[in-house]
């Protein structure tokens, strides 16, 4: 390892995954982040479960990943939501990192849609931007909800990357369920350099309570949220919404605005179900018109900033968060969910400069956060 004079950023991730893609689809991003870190005096190390305890890690040097020892990070960012490699070690180390103040990523539970709704609905500045949301734990509860609500989405409380999301719309006496199923297993994204988000759209009519109960069983969900559908604007039949990337909970900055356009007739806009990145400003203007677009963008910025501040006050300082937003043609702004570990694939496709800026913002945050920790430690001593 290099001299401790340099700030050390550790990226905590599931793996190793594959020999030529040690960290799956994030490998390239980690390599780029290493380059930007080197330019700013920050050493970037990647930790996999068990590495923190043994003070070992991976370092990208001379075009390849090598094992290094004596790792002593100043700041740690968790970059995986689920750990399939040594999950017990991962849970133990992440708990230790959070208790020590080294971990600057929101906890996984912060992205739980039901907890988020329950908590944010108490904030008068955010409440009006939340679609009506209720908790569902059985097929009978789902059927009861569908008796009084015409158009809803059924979603798992945790992250789903666009799958396991069901659109349920009443048409006459029937409820029509529509959802997307990936044709290529998600795990292949981790080991293949070719991204293949192909899906098929499935539609089913739920004509009575028995059909609804059978549908619930088939989803495999034990808990879910039932969320009123927001009428997303469409371009040529393709729905679109937005992802705001916010950096630094203590001094929030909107680093990137991204429009997400789903396939024609799609259930979701997620990139993992075939969504495409589009300039956010253009899509907002398309939805509400030129006269209102600036005001709507300001509202979206204000809502995203407010949520980032509230998350920081609740969970402690964190580097970044992705916030999913929607705008209706009536200029209403809604919040769907937050992502504690936002990806970069859409930014890379949309704008190379914006992608670079988002990584540089991470490095800048790490430098500021390390200085804050150093100043705090100095005062305590």
Q: What is the pLDDT of residue 381?
A: 47
Which pLDDT value is given to residue 302?
Answer: 98
How many CB atoms within 10 Å of residue 6? 15
Whole-number pLDDT of residue 379: 52
Question: In whole angstroms, what is the distance from residue 118 CA to residue 304 CA?
Answer: 17
Omega of the bond leading into 16 within 30 degrees of 0 (cis): yes
Burial class (CB in 10 A: 0-12, 13-18, 19+), 99: exposed
Burial of 310 (0-12, 13-18, 19+ CB in 10 A): middle
245 contacts 324 by C-beta, under 8 angstroms:
no
CATH architecture of 108-114+121-128+232-350: 2-Layer Sandwich (3.30)
* Over residues 272-283, mean pLDDT: 91
H helices of the chain, in order, are 27-39, 51-54, 87-99, 113-120, 139-148, 187-191, 209-219, 280-288, 290-315, 345-350, 352-380
Cβ–Cβ < 8 Å for 136, 154: yes
Average pLDDT, the chain: 92
Question: Would the pTM count as exceeding 0.85?
Answer: yes
pLDDT of residue 133: 98
Backbone angles phi, psi at 283, to 5 degrees: -70, -35
Dihedral (C-alpha) 366, 371, 376, 379: value to the nearest 10 degrees? Answer: 170
CB 262 within 8 Å of CB 237: no
Query: Is the predicted pLDDT of residue 345 greater than 80, yes or no?
Result: yes
CA distance 45 to 309: 28
> What DSSP assignment string belongs to 122-152?
T-TTTGGGS--EEEE-SHHHHHHHHHH-SEE
Domain spans of the chain, in order of start:
7-103, 108-114+121-128+232-350, 132-228
Q: Which of the four pLDDT bands, split at 50, 70 and 90, describes residue 20?
A: confident
Distance, CA of 308 to CA of 319 (rounded, Å):
10
């Amino acid at each position: 390892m290099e001299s401790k004079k340099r700030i050390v950023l550790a990226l905590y991730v599931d793996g190793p995954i594959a020999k030529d893609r040690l960290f799956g689809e994030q490998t390239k991003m980690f390599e780029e982040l290493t380059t930007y870190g080197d330019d700013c005096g920050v050493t970037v190390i990647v930790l996999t479960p068990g590495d923190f305890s043994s003070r070992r890690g991976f370092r990208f040097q001379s075009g390849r990943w090598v094992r290094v020892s004596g790792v002593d990070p100043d700041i740690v960012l968790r970059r995986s939501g689920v750990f399939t490699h040594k999950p017990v070690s991962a849970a133990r180390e992440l708990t230790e990192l959070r208790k020590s103040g080294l971990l600057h990523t929101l906890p996984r539970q912060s992205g739980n849609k039901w907890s988020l709704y329950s908590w944010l609905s108490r904030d008068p500045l955010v409440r009006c931007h939340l679609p009506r949301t209720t908790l569902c734990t059985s097929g009978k509860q789902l059927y009861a909800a569908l008796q009084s609500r015409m158009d809803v989405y059924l979603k798992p409380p945790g992250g789903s990357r666009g799958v396991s999301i069901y659109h349920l719309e009443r048409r006459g006496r029937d409820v029509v369920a529509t959802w997307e199923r990936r044709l290529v297993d998600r795990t292949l994204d981790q080991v293949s350099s070719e991204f293949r988000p192909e899906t098929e759209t499935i539609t089913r009519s739920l004509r009575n309570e028995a059909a609804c109960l059978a549908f619930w069983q088939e989803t495999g969900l034990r808990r879910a949220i039932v969320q009123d559908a927001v009428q997303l604007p469409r371009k040529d039949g393709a729905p679109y919404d937005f992802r705001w990337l916010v950096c630094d909970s203590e001094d929030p900055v909107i680093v990137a605005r991204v429009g997400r356009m789903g396939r024609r007739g799609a259930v979701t806009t997620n990139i993992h179900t075939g969504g495409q990145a589009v300039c956010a400003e253009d899509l907002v203007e398309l939805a509400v018109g030129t006269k209102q677009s600036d005001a709507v963008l300001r509202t979206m910025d204000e809502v995203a900033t407010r949520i980032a501040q509230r998350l920081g006050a609740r969970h402690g300082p964190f580097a970044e968060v992705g916030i999913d937003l929607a705008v209706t043609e009536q200029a209403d702004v809604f919040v769907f969910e937050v992502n504690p570990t936002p990806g970069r694939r859409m930014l890379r496709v949309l704008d190379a400069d914006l992608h670079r800026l988002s990584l540089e913002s991470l490095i800048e945050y790490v430098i500021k956060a390390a200085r804050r920790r150093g100043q705090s430690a100095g005062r305590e001593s």
